[in-house]
Amino acid sequence: QVQLVESGGGLVQAGDSLRLSCAASGRTYSNYHKAWFRQAPGKEREFVACISWNGGNSNYADSVQGRFTISTDNTKNTVALQMNDLKPEDTAVYYCAIGEFYGRTSPGEYRYWGQGTQVTVSS
């Protein structure tokens, strides 16, 4: 069993930066691939970024490519999402997730989820 807890969300202005963090408990955390998703009000949960278990590979949604960076530290059982040049359309609840297969962009492919952290970007 793995538990995930996100932190770092908040209210910022367009152009600002935020760093989200996800802390995990569980002995097998490092063996999983990690990802961030987000869900805006009235919309489906969408893929943001993913990273392989050892951090060697990563992939991003087109909408965040070049602005967001995902990273993982298996010594600390954390996965982070550095978000730069935030835009109002980035407003959503952000979730971290882990799964057995790298590169999957569907929420159903991920086994464990955090409770989410709110990010609000004002214009």
Model confidence at 29: pLDDT above 80: no
Mean pLDDT, residues 11-19 taken together: 98
- pLDDT band of residue 26 (cuts 50, 70, 90) is confident
**What phi and psi values does residue 11 have, to the nearest 5 degrees?**
-105, 125
Distance CA 11, CA 28 (A): 33
Q: Residue 31's pLDDT is what?
A: 83
> What are 80-110's pLDDT values in tens digits?
999 999 999 999 999 999 999 999 999 999 9
Nearest-5° Cα angle at 33, 31 to 35: 145
Model confidence at 28: pLDDT above 80: no
> What are 32-77's pLDDT values in tens digits?
899 999 999 999 999 999 999 999 999 999 999 999 999 999 899 9
